[in-house]
Amino acid sequence: MAIDGGTLRLSIAAMNFLSDTTAPAHPSLIEAIAAANRDFAPSYGADALSAKVEARLKEIFETELKVLFAVSGTASNALALSVLCPSHGAILCHDEAHIHRDERGAPEFFTGGGKLITLRGDHARIDLADLDRVLNEIPEGFVHTSPVRVLSLSNLTESGTAYTPADVADRAGRLADRPAFVHMDGARFANALVSLGCSPAELTWKAGVDALCFGATKNGALGAEAVVLFPSVMDRFEELQARQKRSGHMAPKMRFLAAQFDAWLDNDLWLDLARTANTRARALAAGFEAMDDAAVLHPVDGNEIFVRLSDPLAARLRNAGAQFYQWPDGSARFVASWCTTEAEIADTLKAG
């Protein structure tokens, strides 16, 4: 099946909804890497492209900031948390959060022992009452408990739902009287942003976020993530760099990561790609909602759909070639990507 990539077209297997990380990189980003390969450039982020991207991000987020590029979401989350949480501190997150479920203890390892404390909440959003409960149970200055030093929010969440700016501010505000910070896992930040229709600034630092792990890999990049430190924690950038180097995560030819961000941010390509993925996901969800033997379990705020399928329906979809992931709770996860086509959605629903 032909996949539209702007002026270029790719041919890949149809109906692959396993993950947006299984999708190909956007051709513009591949071209940007090739362009960055035409000459010599300073190493370890001292190149012109890295500086250009940082300047562009300052415009996008409407503030001063510091940027560190990484090659994976796990690395960016663990590194960011390591400069926000001391080894004796605690990180609050949802029980379904990626840092808790899917990073093999990387946050604990990189912080040198920081304790993850999980919270409840429908659709993988932290419930305010449960946050208040845990904060009341961990009073500041009580020597016998790990003090809360970070609140980590995933946007999109692990259930494909979004926190609005008001949602973020409500949760961040609970930490206002503590020496604590707010971290946002933004592996699908672009998808949340276009769904909510707000600005990057409104969804981050203006709502109380101190550090954002800004993901591009799931939205068209070959492999590129960025840790964005907002003014409240910019003074920790040198420590962040040191930890990246010491852990072996500092890419020598950083310009190839910056090149991807340069092309991705150009002319708002990152938002266009996320918008396409979201649109396809909503169309697929609407189709499932119209079926008697399927039930969509969470609001579709981005490009992920979690649906309870009857066994016969799941078998029909698989027999037709649809690929999707079986979630631990028994539901099926379908993830649309920047290159998912209307025809793929139609073929999937027809197979059902």
Tens-digit pLDDT profile for residues 138-175: 999 999 999 999 999 999 999 999 999 999 999 999 99
Structural element, H or E, at residue 1: none
Average pLDDT of 120-143?
A: 97
Q: How far apart are CA 80 and CA 228, in angstroms?
A: 9
Q: How far apart are CA 280 and CA 285, in angstroms?
A: 9
Q: How far apart are CA 261 and CA 257, in angstroms?
A: 7
Average pLDDT of 37-46?
A: 96
Where residue 290 falls among pLDDT bands split at 50, 70, 90? very high
What pTM was computed for the model?
0.95
Of 179-183, 259-263, 282-286, 325-329, the poorest mean pLDDT is in 325-329
Average pLDDT of 300-312?
A: 98
Where residue 4 falls among pLDDT bands split at 50, 70, 90? very low
Q: Give 3-state DSSP helix, strand, coil % of the chain, rounded to 5.
A: 45, 20, 40
Name the DSSP class of 235.
Answer: G
Please give the full DSSP string across 261-298, using - where no structure is assigned: HHHHHGGGHHHHHHHHHHHHHHHHHHHHHTSTTEEE-S
Where residue 14 falls among pLDDT bands split at 50, 70, 90? confident
Above 80 in pLDDT, residue 3? no
- pLDDT given at position 13: 53
Average pLDDT, the chain: 95
For residue 230, give the 3-state DSSP assignment. Answer: coil
Measured in degrees and rounded to the nearest 5, phi and psi for residue 199 equal -90, 160
**b (16+ CB within 10 A) / e for 300-337:** bbbbbbbbbbeeebbeebeeeebebeeeeeebbbbbbb
Above 50 in pLDDT, residue 51? yes
Q: How far apart are CA 114 and CA 129, in angstroms?
A: 24
